[in-house]
Structure 1
Amino acid sequence: MTSSRKLVAELLGTALLLATVVGSGIMAERLSGGNVAIALLCNTIPTGAILFVLITVFGPVSGANFNPAVTMVFHLRREVSLEMAFGYVVMQVTGAIIGVWAAHLMFDLDLLQYSDKVRSGPGQWFAEGVATFGLVTVILGALNARPQAVAACVGLYITAAYWFTASTSFANPAVTIARTLSRTFAGIRPLDAPAFVAAEFASALLAFLFCRWFLVRSKPAG
């Protein structure tokens, strides 16, 4: 597979992911009548669903990382070169921003905006650590046990993590950066983003180290 196709896959896949996250958040907020629980549920289901679709479609092309923390892990596993990892991250962040802007345009909102939604504090930071550790562990565990189930496992995990984490499971530095640019249900203040990103990368590294020990296959006897 050529490098250009892989980069385009990461750009387009991440753009579609963020268009879904932000767009469904806008739609949910408009239709929920102020019921935050219903709005979150209506934001959760499309996100889990689109992850299954995107990983299934783009996985054979680029590996469907859509996430700088995941790309870091695959680089550490020597499955993505440093040069390609850098390209992936640039495409992921760019695609994420494009996806946010696409959602704004679809819903007749100002293209350029900044979030004022507060997401800060030790509980939120720890939640992002838990969310990202779980995501990376699920990805590597599924690849180890049943590679064809990765798309379903990731989609279902994120669906669950929206609800069991205090941060609603961003678990993705590109997603975090892009969501600072949306003053909508899915947003996060630019001031709060660096702590989220730090927690995401740190916990992804921890999950990589854990899985390198935990998922070692035993050699068959004889």
Structure 2
Amino acid sequence: MTLGRRVAAEFVGTAFLVAAVIGSGIAASRLSPDDIGLQLLENSLITGAALVALILALQPVSAAFNPVVTVAEVILGLVRKEDALPVIAAQFAGGFLGAVVANLMFDLDAVTISTHERTGSDLWLGEVVATLGLLLVIFGSVRSGRTDTVAYAVGGYITAAYWFTSSTSFANPAVTVSRIFSDTFAGIAPSSVPVFVLMQLVGGALAVVVVRALYPRETLHALDATQETAA
């Protein structure tokens, strides 16, 4: 698998993911202006469905779309250290493009800085839990040799985590930063982002410990093997 292809897949996939998150949030707020619960339901279902589709399409190349996942892949030996930085850069760049496109699709300014403050120890704990669970779902599927289930597991988990975590499960630094650039339903104020990202990193670190404790090393490279075969 060439690095260029991985970088391109991460850029495209993260762009579409962020466009789905922000775009569905805008659509939900317009279609159901008086029902926040229905807005969240619409936003969560579209995000989960988009994740399933994107992972199914791009998994043979690269389908992390998430810097925490990429760092965990490095720690677990699935991605080379020297490949991680360009992959993560592509995730952030793709996320920004996705935010801009989502804004433009709904006739908004290309960039509108969010004023939606999301702060408090309850939300921070929610981000730890959301990210821990996401990585457990991903690497639990990989290390148990069921890479063909990752797309459905991740899509289902994120849809659920929108509801059972207090933070609505950002669980992704690239998506979190990208949501700064849309002052809409899915947005997050810049001042709220640093602690969100820190808690996501904490959740990711805990997930690596849990995955190593629960799953044997012999399936560590299952995802790489599947990707190389598919390529």
Structure 1 residue 144: Cα displacement: 2.2
Could you tell me which runs of 5 or more consecutive residues in structure 1 were left unpaired when the two chains were aligned.
none
Counterpart-to-counterpart distance in 2, 1:177 and 1:111: 15
SS of structure 1 residue aligned to 2:60: helix
Aligned partners of 1:136, 1:211: CA distance in 2, in Å?
Answer: 8
Deviation at 1:209, TM superposition (A): 1.1
Structure 1 position 3 matched with structure 2 position 14 = no
Aligned residue-pair number: 218
C-alpha separation in 2, matches of 1:205 and 1:88: 19
Name the SS for the 1:43 alignment partner: helix
Deviation, structure 1 residue 26? 0.2
In 2, Cα distance between equivalents of 1:48 and 1:79: 24
Please give the per-residue CA displacement for 1:65-100, whole angstroms capped at 9, x wherever unaligned: 100000000000111112211011100000000000
2:101 is the counterpart of 1:102: yes
TM-score (norm 2): 0.92
Tell me the residue number matched to 1:132. 131
In the alignment, the residues of structure 2 paired with residue 212 and residue 181 of structure 1 have an alpha-carbon distance, to the nearest angstrom, of: 36
Partner of 1:115: 114
What one-letter code is carried by the residue in structure 2 that aligns with 1:78?
G
Aligned twin of 1:46: 46
Cα deviation, residue 33, structure 1? 2.6
Match of 2:17 in 1: 17
Mapped partners of 1:90, 1:209: distance in 2 = 25
Classify the secondary structure of the residue corresponding to 1:91. Answer: helix
CA distance in 2, matches of 1:83, 1:20: 30
Identity among equivalent pairs (%): 47
Question: What is the RMSD computed on CA atoms of the aligned residues?
Answer: 1.3
Q: Which 5+ residue runs of structure 2 have no aligned equivalent?
A: 219-231
Write the distance in 2 (CA, Å) between the matches of 1:33 and 1:90. 36
Q: Measure, in 2, the Cα distance between the counterparts of 1:113 and 1:27.
A: 16
Alpha-carbon distance between aligned partners in 1 of 2:163 and 2:210, rounded to the nearest angstrom: 24
2:207 aligned residue: 207
For residues 87 and 178 of structure 1, the distance between their equivalents in structure 2, rounded to whole angstroms, comes to 17
1:147 and 1:83 map into 2 onto residues whose CA distance is 24
